[in-house]
Amino acid sequence: MNILIIGSGGREHALGVALKKSPQCEQLYFAPGNAGTSTIGKNLSISDIDIDALLDFATQNKIDLTMVGPEAPLVSGIVDIFTEAGLAIVGPSKAAAQLEGSKDWAKAFMVRHNIPTAKYETFLDYDTSIAYINKRDTYPIVIKADGLAAGKGVTVALNFEMADDALTDCFIDQKFSEAGAKVVIEDFLKGEEASIFAFTDGHVIKPMTPAQDHKAVFDGDKGPNTGGMGSYSPAPLVTPAIEDNVYNDVFLPLLRGLQAEGIVYKGIVYAGLMIDKGEVSIVEFNVRFGDPETQVVLPRLKTDLVTILNAVSNETLDSVNLEWSDDSGVCVVLASGGYPGSYKKGQVMTGLEGDTQTCYVIHAGSEVNDKDETITKGGRVCGVVSIHSDLKIAIETAYQRVDQVQFNGKYNRTDIGFKAFKSIKS
């Protein structure tokens, strides 16, 4: 099969690695890809949001299956456009992608279908929202731009000033343009976060193995949130009982709700969970795989990923059994110093040789220049993935490899995966 993967992050490189393992995968294309994806497939100079160009490419090059990595093309409706053209594609319809594309829509959907989530109200202007904040004097309180804001639209406000700044960003300074014209204000949820992805073909929904992400930039979960500085799977915080709860109280009502509302969803669902003393609440739904959780979930998948994605697309997922290895996976992200703020690009990367089957570099914001050097191109540059039956050894091995990969300004957390031991203890 000819498979097109849309996107350029670590998630897309990890998807490529997993798909490449399948004997059914003949040729992989990435639009636009990164330095890592060019070693396992062909990078195209097509942006991940240029739907017309993606459609032209897929039609002219007999692409058998398209897998969409990031949310932006999904929210723009790429799945409806490809489906209309008779092309097989994995992802939610434009209507379903509102689960990630509009916080207000997602919250209202969760309320309609009894999915546990924080209480919220939605606002359309500064005056009404600030009056609401004034009335409510308990902090933290969470303020969210309604639309896609590249991970920067959420503020956990610890006091009135922070809340005011967040509302000013959205309504007065219009920092997120249309995405901030509506604001959701919700109750703060206590607890620890975890992610569970699921495959759905619109008829059944099959959860994947749980993972945990490390969102904060500094060790000990300090500092501002990033796209994710590292991950591990399985996540011992998510006990089998919690997995059952998530299936029965989150994924099934989600699927039934979509069916009842006539919304087509054939793709990946990402449940962002808050777990507090065994109780689960949904922080957010995303309509795609998470990054960097994918890097540790997919290597543990024993079932052929091409078979699964075909079944999602053909609506035959019921016939596929997901099998997982008992190994642990960890991914340590190497970032450009300064990220998630401003940072330098174009730094030459070294120490990239020496991948093994169980410890290897997954590329993200990197590219190959005209001197054939691999250089940095983004905030999250790459990640070291390590897989072992013992999480402790997986972590040690990952950090040995992290030391080998060098570029000016390299920054990484030094405590990725340690949270798991705390959960195991308790």
Task: Give the C-alpha separation, 334 to 329, whole Å.
Answer: 16
Nearer CB in complex with ligand GLY: 201/293: 293
Residue 228 interface partner, choices ligand GLY, ligand AMP, none, CB cut-off 5-8 Å depending on type: ligand GLY
Task: Give the C-alpha separation, 141 to 122, whole Å.
Answer: 13
| 266 closest CA partner among 83, 9, 58, 47 | 83
Q: Which of 193, 201, 291, 327 contacts ligand AMP by CB under 6 A?
A: 193
Nearer CB in complex with ligand AMP: 189/349: 189
Coil, strand or helix: which one is 259? helix
Residue 290 interface partner, choices ligand AMP, ligand GLY, none, CB cut-off 5-8 Å depending on type: ligand GLY
Nearer CB in complex with ligand AMP: 55/274: 274
What is the distance in angstroms between the CA of the first residue and the CA of the last residue of the chain? Answer: 46
Binding of ligand AMP by 184 (CB under 6 A) = no
Task: Give the C-alpha separation, 362 to 152, whole Å.
Answer: 24
Q: How far is the CB of 211 from ligand GLY (least distance, A)?
A: 9
Nearer CB in complex with ligand GLY: 186/293: 293
Binding of ligand AMP by 51 (CB under 6 A) = no
Q: How many residues line the site for ligand AMP (CB under 6 A)?
A: 14
Residue 189 interface partner, choices ligand GLY, ligand AMP, none, CB cut-off 5-8 Å depending on type: ligand AMP
Sites of contact with ligand GLY (CB under 6 A): 213, 228, 286, 290-291, 293
Q: How far is the CB of 100 from ligand GLY (least distance, A)?
A: 9
Task: Give the C-alpha separation, 33 to 55, whole Å.
Answer: 17
Q: How far is the CB of 118 from ligand AMP (least distance, A)?
A: 4
Nearer CB in complex with ligand GLY: 7/228: 228
Sign of CA dihedral 11, 14, 18, 20: positive
Ranges within 353-412 binding ligand AMP (CB under 6 A): none
DSSP β-ladder status, 265-276 and 192-200: antiparallel
- CB contact at 8 A, 348 and 375: yes
CA distances 133 to 40, 153, 183, 185, 363, Å, are 51, 18, 12, 9, 42
> Which residues contact ligand AMP (rule: CB under 6 A)?
118, 142, 144, 154, 156, 186, 188-189, 193, 215, 225, 272, 283-284
